[in-house]
Amino acid sequence: MTSVLAPPPEGSGLKAVPGVPGIPYIGNTLQVMRHPFDYARKRYDEYGAVAWGWLLGQRTVTVQGPEAAEVVLVNRDKAFANGPAWSYFIGPFFYRGIMLLDFDEHLHHRRIMQQAFTRARLRSYLDAMAPGIVTGLDAWRPGAGFKVYDHVKQLTLDLATDVFMGVGLSRAERDRVNGAFVDAVRAGTAYVRFPVPGLRWHRGLRARKVLEGFFRDQVPAKRRDGGDDLFAALCEAETDDGHRFTDEDVVNHMIFALMAAHDTTTITLTTMAYHLARHPEWQERLREESLALGTASPTDAELDSLTGADMVMKESLRLVAPVPALPRKVVKDTSILGFHIPEGATVVVPTLTNHHMADWWPDPERFDPGRFGPDRREDRIHKYAWSPFGGGAHKCIGLYFAGMQVKAILHQMLVRYRWSVPERYEWPLDTTSLPSPKDGLPVRLDRCETA
């Protein structure tokens, strides 16, 4: 039965947000998490761009389409806050990460953190991760049933510890830290949001303690010795007027940055690998492009020249946005596209499904990297039609690093291996947490003759 979120102020001319709340607390959670694309289309057809319902225990307004996304992400009247929204999902595990800060405090931290993502720093990160990419990929064993997701996740976790931490770890210690990151990420979408032993929330809280202890122990040496890694960069970062991070700031930002770096890269590379397996003509096109570079260790400029890889990456980010939704808490009464949004509501921009809207993307389910070619640029239909990195003040600070890392890994994959899937294979995408293939994406992996 249709109901409204809250009546608009008398004489405001605004409309009340419609929706079907369902069962309190549970509401539409199962449909949204298990069948996001079908549910989003149904909801849009029935209620339009702005509608509400219960989601993971909150009264949530979901806004579909780039016009509504722009209102929320640009946030001109500062009505939408990141911190209290994200804190509900991941706050106990990624406390005071850059994405969980707002307004002046967020700007202050971002200005300091920007020093860790200068062009010179990005080049040093590329140099640091190049040997790890080669070592990791050379350890892959060709054959049938090779699970791309599992191997890429291990590789990106290892690279994150090498490039971001710059700390020599034993395999056991590396696995302990990596396992803590996995538990912390999965805890964010737990159904039971209490520390029940053995369940996701409890494991996430334990993981946070492991990570805090690890980074806190390392800070003194990093401040003393420096280095070319992100950890050292955050310890050294300083604005023109002398502001620096405290030890606690460094620990919080490192925990968040490593989560953001390895999970999003893993999802993007796995999505690219899936579509390149299903479309071997694109795989060969990208392989020829990489081989034409004629170098084992491309520079950042050479990676930028891989235009085919760039189009495939962007199309893969459209088809499967690694961060499927961007939540905000409403901190004062506001409006979206003529609808009254009351203070205290949670608003969600569903990036995953917004990228599949037929109103904005022709034949949206089809893999078509040419959408991003210079002669078409379908993403330019609206500034927020394609927004896998968010937008506004909270646009991902590491987006250039992410693109560089994805292309550096893909380049090495292409010159070493070919991979394929059976003709009728379609991956079972799990969307109950961050999107990933339930089966790990098994492929036939073969070594290239040129490798």
Instruction: For residue 169, give the CATH number of its domain.
Output: 1.10.630.10
Q: How far apart are the first and last CA of the chain?
A: 61
387 vs 331: CA distance, rounded Å = 23
User: Cβ atoms within 10 A of the Cβ of 375, count?
Assistant: 5
276 vs 274: CA distance, rounded Å = 6
The pLDDT, as a whole number, for residue 202 is 92
SS3 content of the chain, % helix, strand, coil (to 5): 55, 10, 35
For residue 17, being part of any structural domain is answered with no
Buried b (16+ CB within 10 A) or exposed e, 134-165: eebbeebeeeeebbbbbbbbbbbbbbbbbbbb
399 vs 405: CA distance, rounded Å = 10
The pLDDT, as a whole number, for residue 226 is 87
Task: Give strand pairing partners of 177.
Answer: none
198: left (phi over 0), alpha (psi -120 to 50) or beta: left
Q: H or E segment at 63?
A: strand 58-63
Q: In Å, how far are 302, 338, 352, 360 from 49, measured between CA atoms? A: 41, 11, 15, 13
DSSP letter (8 states) at residue 8: P
Number of domains in the chain: 1
For residue 12, being part of any structural domain is answered with no
Are the C-beta atoms of residues 298 and 405 closer than 8 Å to each other?
Answer: no
Q: In Å, how far are 158, 229, 411, 435 from 258, measured between CA atoms? A: 11, 12, 22, 18
198 vs 351: CA distance, rounded Å = 31
What six digits make up the tokens of 178? 């990596």
* Containing structural domain, residue 104: 29-447
What six digits make up the tokens of 336? 């979206």
Phi, psi of 429 (to 5 degrees): -80, 125
For residue 3, being part of any structural domain is answered with no
Instruction: State which residues of the chain have pLDDT below 70.
Output: 1, 450-451
Burial (CB < 10 A; 0-12, 13-18, 19+), residue 111, is middle
Burial (CB < 10 A; 0-12, 13-18, 19+), residue 281, is exposed
15 vs 349: CA distance, rounded Å = 19
Task: Give strand pairing partners of 15.
Answer: 339
Q: In Å, how far are 96, 246, 255 from 157, measured between CA atoms? A: 22, 26, 13
Are the C-beta atoms of residues 55 and 348 closer than 8 Å to each other?
Answer: yes
Q: Hey, what long-range contacts does 6-10 have (CB within 8 A, 24 or more apart)?
A: 6/340, 6/342, 6/345, 7/340, 8/340, 9/333, 9/340
The number of residues in the chain equals 451
For residue 389, being part of any structural domain is answered with yes
Q: In Å, how far are 57, 148, 179, 233, 257 from 175, measured between CA atoms? A: 33, 19, 6, 24, 18
358 vs 393: CA distance, rounded Å = 28
For residue 5, being part of any structural domain is answered with no
For residue 346, being part of any structural domain is answered with yes
The pLDDT, as a whole number, for residue 2 is 73
Phi, psi of 193 (to 5 degrees): -100, 50
**CA-CA-CA-CA dihedral for 208, 213, 215, 216, to nearest 10:** 130
